[in-house]
Amino acid sequence: MTKFTSDRLLLFGATGDLSRRMLLPSLCALDAEGLLDPDIQIIATARSEMDDQAFRNFARESLEQFLAPERRGGMATFLNRLFYQQLDANNPEGYKALAAKVGEPNQGLSIFLSTAPSLFEPTIRGLEQNGLAGPNVRIALEKPLGIDLESSKVINDAVASAFPEDRIFRIDHYLGKETVQNLIALRFANLMFEPLWNAAHIDHVQITVSETVGLESRVGYYDDSGALRDMVQNHMLQLLALVAMEPPVSYEATTVRDEKVKVLRSLRQIKAEETVTGQYRAGAINGEAVPGYDEELGKPSDTETFVAIKAHIDNWRWQGVPFYMRTGKRMPRRTTEVVVQFRDVPHSIFSGRGARTVPNRLVISLQPDENITLSLMAKMPGLDREGFGLRAIPLAISMPDAFAGPQRRIAYERLWLDLIEGDQTLFVRRDEVEAQWEWIDAIRATWEEHRIEPKTYTAGSWGPSAAIALAERDGVTWHE
């Protein structure tokens, strides 16, 4: 890979919701901490007609709304780095003016496509035809990267026509979260877990990504996508791969992603009885009434807003260990967590004293709070002639309390910085994307073959009762 640090950034979709909420605030926060080149220029582009100053005003309003006040230091300096060029991505002539605004990319240019996937192909063509796809140019792609394997290949082929793989940065923003990176540190920087991280000592793994929101502003996209494509195909499979992968030789892009691909290719095809789909109906979230999915959408739909899956990884380390995954909208609370349930002790020496052991459990919480908790058995204080009181107690690490600095970074801060520096470790390689889509497409084919339709669940609940039964058939209870 050619090493260079970008001194110019080009942001497509600069007036969109992701840019307002995440991308511009992330860049401003990096600049405030001195992590951007002091001479860096940020060129923004979108269909809206405005000049440099109008876009700076737009950016200021976004930062004041979405970036914490204590992280806005030097905002005036950051705003002066911003420039704007109007562009219709489907108009080839518009790229000439954009190229003139960007200038020669010899010193390093990083491009971020935060646009609809349908615009990727004309955008790539326009960049290439106007000198903005040379050897010192990198490109980042925001999801969705297709709706199935076939459409994903079309997108990846279009990008690959102008950019080699070592200059393509496919984004899964979960990989930018501090706790996801701490999952890697927990596994591979501590000797105590590795001997236990296998089927001999782990009973099962749970991965939950729940949201309290409904459709919000994603009506059109979500109804064409559903929970399986929107959450399982990317975020949840990436979490599963990080939990299950073998130790890489080094913490570098090639070695880390090689191990993740091995996991994804080891996923067993799902049977019909190993999956549950659901769609929320009217209910209440935090004491407030909310409408059902069809009411929000304005028409009947068979799109799933909830998925639960019992997955298996067919390799030596994980044979026989189920991975339970669930994700849904309109759940009781917003949370993302990984639960590693260890096996119970093979023989309890305390059973004669009336004490009962509980298996150890490691809980890695990504949101809303970034915490790592390990439950251990301990003797309860006190004197007892007959018994020996045991109770599971948590050893908890609150990441914000353990480390100084910003209490909660935006995941895109890490991803922006790695894009600028050319580090692909936390980005997704093409073979990863395609392995994920192969597995997801097989699940959808199973649904169609068995005519599986979403079961209803009340907004504010943890999904259909069948999802509870999916785990309880194995004597497993979802962690809540």
Tokens at 444, concatenated? 């959808």
Helices (H) and strands (E) in the chain, counts: 16, 17
* Pair of tokens at residue 70: 């204590």
Q: Angle 101-102-103 (CA atoms, 0-180°, nearest 5)?
A: 95
Residue with tokens 């580090």: 423
Q: Supply the DSSP symbol for 316.
A: T
Token pair belonging to 273: 């009885």
Residue 138: how many other CB atoms lie within 10 Å: 24
- Type of residue numbered 451: R
235 is annotated as an active-site residue = yes
Give the C-alpha separation, 346 to 115, whole Å: 54
Q: Which two tokens stand for residue 114?
A: 């935060």
What is the distance of C-alpha 62 from the center of its chain? Answer: 23
Q: What angle do CA 427, 429, 430 make, to 5 degrees?
A: 140
The torsion region of residue 198 among left (phi > 0), alpha (psi -120 to 50) and beta comes to beta
Residue 237 tokens read as 């499979």
Which listed residue (173, 204, 235, 312) is catalytic?
Answer: 235
Tokens of 406: 């910003």
**Total number of residues shown for the chain:** 480
SS3 102: helix
Which segments of 280-347 does DSSP mark as H helices, in order? 293-297
Complete DSSP assignment for 118-155: GGHHHHHHHHHHTT-SSTTEEEEEPSP--SSHHHHHHH
353 Cβ contact list (under 8 Å, min separation 6): 386, 387, 388
Active site residues: 235
